[in-house]
């Protein structure tokens, strides 16, 4: 019996020592990372977002950048919750999209401005533009109006002042060269520039299409103009998510001196920081 009791005591002490030894093992890292999914067009939006991936990672935020080539799906994806935010559009387009689609998307921060430009196609210069020339313009309401206003600024047409950012070719009051307009999805314009006399293209799609807005555009919107404020590209979320901690961290990271320097050195005026 004494031997049995001694054995039981020895086993009890061994188990206790093992348990005490377990408390000395390093604790598991229980810190959790947050994934922030953002929809963006590739140039310059995804390129700009890539500059803050490491900054956010240091804060426990994994920035997942998903690239799109159109202006519709990035908004519907945020509305439906497939994406947390997007970065590709300006406020007038967002307002128009919400009105037409019943979506509930809001702007949370301006990041940059992309001057729209007039690019040569079959006609090499504005001075050589023939009567009846065809000009390709974006087919969404706000960007088409913007394109027409740019033509008006060059003295090629006149537009009813009341039309503002809703102007269409029907609002042209003077068209001495009888210009014809080919309305197309904005992303397609760089691909057909050689088939028209001129094309008016958003800088992001011009860059994606291998054009250099600073060198190739015959005329561009003034980066110091009211248009720069109106058409600043914005971070967008679904209404109710404006104070999301990861979104606020993203905005702070984007509106930094490092990102401003990247924009200035990379795009040489084709993209202008708005912070």
Q: Is the pLDDT of residue 116 over 90?
A: yes
pTM listed for this prediction: 0.73
Quote the number of domains for the chain.
2
In a domain, 25, yes or no: no
In a domain, 174, yes or no: yes
203-239 b/e (C-beta count within 10 Å ≥ 16 → b)? bbbbbbbebebeebbbbbbeeeeebbeebbbbbbbbe
* The pLDDT value given to residue 152: 94
| pLDDT tier at 24, thresholds 50, 70, 90 | very low
The owner of tokens 């997942």 is 64
In a domain, 21, yes or no: no
Residues 110 and 233 in one domain: yes
Which residues have CB under 8 Å from 189's CB, separation 6+? 136, 138, 199, 200, 201, 202, 205, 209
Mean pLDDT of all residues in 102-108: 98
**pLDDT tens string 201-252:** 998 889 889 999 989 999 998 766 677 778 899 999 999 999 999 999 999 9
| Residue 172 C-alpha from the chain's centroid | 30
Beta bridge partners of 223: none
In a domain, 20, yes or no: no
Residues 123 and 210 in one domain: yes
Residues 54 and 84 in one domain: yes
* The pLDDT value given to residue 16: 42
High-pLDDT (> 70) share of the chain, %: 87
Task: Please tell me the least confidently modeled range out of 44-53, 100-109, 199-208.
Answer: 199-208
In a domain, 7, yes or no: no
Q: Which domain holds residue 59?
A: 34-115+229-273
Residues 143 and 214 in one domain: yes
Find out whether 43 and 204 touch, Cβ atoms under 8 Å: yes
Q: Is the pLDDT of residue 192 over 50?
A: yes
Mean pLDDT of all residues in 88-104: 95
Residue 242 — left, alpha, or beta (φ > 0 → left; ψ -120 to 50 → alpha)? alpha
Average pLDDT of the chain to the nearest whole number: 88
In a domain, 261, yes or no: yes
Q: Cα(227)–Cα(216) distance, rounded to whole angstroms?
A: 21
High-pLDDT (> 90) share of the chain, %: 72
CATH code, domain carrying 94: 3.40.190.10
Mean pLDDT of all residues in 146-168: 92
| Domain stop point among 186, 202, 221 | 221
Residues 110 and 239 in one domain: yes
Find out whether 119 and 199 touch, Cβ atoms under 8 Å: yes
Residues 110 and 167 in one domain: no
| Domain stop point among 178, 193, 221 | 221
In a domain, 6, yes or no: no
Mean pLDDT of all residues in 129-140: 97
Phi first, then psi, for residue 269 (nearest 5°) are: 95, -15
Residues 182 and 269 in one domain: no
Residues 139 and 210 in one domain: yes
Residues 178 and 243 in one domain: no
Residues 217 and 252 in one domain: no
| Domain stop point among 179, 205, 221 | 221
In a domain, 137, yes or no: yes
| pLDDT tier at 166, thresholds 50, 70, 90 | confident
Residues 99 and 175 in one domain: no
Residues 204 and 215 in one domain: yes
């Amino acid at each position: 019996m004494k031997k049995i009791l001694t054995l039981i005591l020895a086993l009890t002490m061994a188990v206790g020592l093992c348990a005490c030894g377990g408390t000395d093992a390093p604790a598991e890292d229980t810190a959790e990372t947050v994934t922030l999914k953002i929809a963006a067009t590739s140039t310059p939006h995804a390129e700009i977002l890539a500059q803050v991936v490491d900054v956010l990672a240091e804060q426990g935020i994994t920035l997942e950048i998903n690239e799109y080539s159109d202006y519709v799906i990035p908004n519907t994806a945020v509305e439906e919750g497939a994406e947390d935010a997007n970065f590709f559009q300006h406020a007038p387009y967002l307002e128009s999209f919400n009105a037409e689609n019943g979506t509930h998307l809001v702007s949370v921060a301006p990041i940059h401005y992309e001057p729209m430009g007039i690019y040569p196609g079959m006609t090499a210069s504005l001075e050589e533009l023939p009567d009846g020339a065809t000009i390709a313009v974006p087919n969404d309401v706000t960007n088409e109006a913007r394109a027409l206003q740019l033509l008006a600024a060059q003295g090629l047409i006149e537009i009813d002042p009341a039309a503002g950012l809703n102007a269409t070719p029907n609002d042209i009051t003077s068209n001495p060269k009888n210009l014809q307009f080919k309305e197309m999805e904005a992303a397609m314009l760089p691909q057909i520039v050689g088939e028209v006399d001129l094309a008016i293209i958003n800088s992001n799609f011009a860059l994606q299409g291998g054009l250099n807005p600073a060198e190739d555009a015959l005329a561009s919107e003034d980066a110091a103009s009211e248009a720069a404020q109106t058409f600043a590209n914005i971070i967008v979320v679904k209404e109710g998510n404006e104070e999301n901690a990861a979104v606020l961290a993203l905005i702070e990271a984007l509106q930094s001196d490092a990102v401003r320097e990247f924009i200035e050195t990379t795009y040489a005026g084709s993209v202008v920081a708005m912070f």
